[in-house]
Amino acid sequence: MSDTRTLSAALISVFDKTGLEPIIEELHQLGVTLYSTGGTEAFIRQMGIPVVPVEDLTEYPSILGGRVKTLHPKVFGGILNRQNHSGDQAEMAAYQIPQIDLVIVDLYPFEDTVAAGGTEQEIIEKIDIGGIALIRAAAKNFHDVLCIADKKEYPTLLALLKDQKGDTLLAQRKHFSAKAFHVSSNYDTAIFNYFNAEPGYLKISQSEGQTLRYGENPHQEGRFFGPLHELLEQLHGKGLSYNNLLDVDAAVQLMQEFKDELPTFAILKHNNTCGLATRPTLHEAYVDALAGDPVSAFGGILIANTTLDAATALEIHNLFCEVVIAPGFEGDALDILKQKKNRILLKQNDVPLPQQQLRSCLNGVLVQGKDLHTDQVSDLKNVTLEVPNASEIEDLLFASKICKHTKSNTIVLAKNKQLLASGTGQTSRVDALNQAIVKAKNFNFDLQDAVMASDAFFPFPDCVSIAYEAGIRIVIQPGGSIKDQDSIDFCNKKNMKMVLTGIRHFKH
């Protein structure tokens, strides 16, 4: 038997009628019998096209408020029968079951109802039963049946109907079968995640994916899955790369810490902050952020916590950078920044970010809750004789926010709400501190009275000793070492100030 099938009858039952009309018209022109239910049946009748109610086929009405309409052997027998199986065909004839070789079905908008804050009863009523069963049946029997489960496939289906005059090939039916099972599995995952209250399960399904230019390196493939457009609206530039997205993620997560602060500007490179400042104006914030490390800023990711103005854009335009992110852009600022054709401009929308973090590990996946703790004044415990004043506390918390978003081991040096330097991703905290001091001096920063933040405790007093020799007098760290007192004693001896937070901020 040939793998070509000619459409003879279609079952159409959809919640969303968008884009359906030309398909119905084409099926009618091809002489395909149409079966339908409820609102879809009425829609087809309004087009003036003959349609057979499913109730006439099943000789059973829609019951239970529409919960049961298509769940009947005369429907599922028409879909699941094997056309090259003599036994199936004999039963089809005996029970007068018509062949159905095209199923066009969508599902009740469960995810949309959840997202819209529907009541539990409203959400439960959007759990589709008949639709999901029809999709699985039609997709399973792809040898004989074509299944369309997503309106995004309507244009492809319409072209196929026109070009092939109602004929379908096995490869085409199998292709649409895979897409249908994607729809059904994604739907079931959403329902499970709504009901599940146990942390011992992980089910992920993303229906939106985009191919990237390449992965971390040109010889690697890369894709991004998720509704990126909801968070970031690209206004200009080339497509985002795998590395761009990692850096953009680091930038967005960092700037969440400064969302409600005075104008703040940050520059990142390879997921780490190389410049950040908070100032009365965004222009000043950018200039001082750039001063933190103008070398690393080349090719970096730039992000602001407020609308980007023309004066700031003029400064940025002098720097080669990959991406600029802001919650808004003034018209003149956009015109300036768009002069570089490849420069990526992203408008960040105010949407919630995931509270769970995942990463592949060995032959599985690591899952953890996001580090949502931002050190506050109430967290600070003064452990030295000298205590920081109000402005010094502001700098300590400023440095702590940056430290939280920098690769471990890290040390952050800051003064007057400006990042002076950081040591990032070092195998020892001493190395991280020395790296930060060298960088700060290379860019002519005075470390006298600067603050030092550490992502984890000091096991020995060596770091506070090195910091003192560099002019640093104020320290914030989590504490927790059995030798905390050694560092505290050194600080007291040198009239330094130290506060403990009790919260470690490792980032690997």
| Residues carrying an active site annotation | 140, 270
Contact 395, 414 (CB under 8 A): yes
Three-state SS for 68?
A: strand
d(CA 247, CA 124): 39
Helix axes 130-140, 73-80, angle to 10 degrees: 30
Give the separation between CA 136 and CA 184, rounded to whole angstroms.
7
Name the nearest CA neighbour of 226 among 215, 212, 247: 212
Contact residues for 205 (Cβ-Cβ < 8 A; gap 6+)? 185, 186, 189, 190
- Give the span between the Cα atoms of 374 and 361, in whole angstroms: 27
Q: What angle (nearest 5°) sits at the alpha carbon of residue 156, between those of residues 150 and 158?
A: 100
Spatial separation of the C-alpha atoms in residues 340 and 66, rounded to whole Å:
57
Which residue intervals of 257-371 are DSSP H helices? 282-291, 310-316, 331-337
Question: In a 10 Å sphere around its CB, with 0-12 CB exposed, 13-18 middle and 19+ buried, how is residue 245 labelled?
Answer: middle
Distance in angstroms (rounded) separating the CA atoms of residues 209 and 217: 19
Per DSSP (E only), the strands in 327-466 are: 344-348, 356-361, 364-369, 381-382, 411-415, 418-423, 451-454
Q: Encoding tokens for residue 302? A: 């730039």
Can you tell me whether residue 164 is helix, strand or coil? helix
Helices and strands, counts by H and E, the chain = 19, 23
Q: How many residues does this entry show for the chain?
A: 508
Neighbours of 240 (CB within 10 A): 21
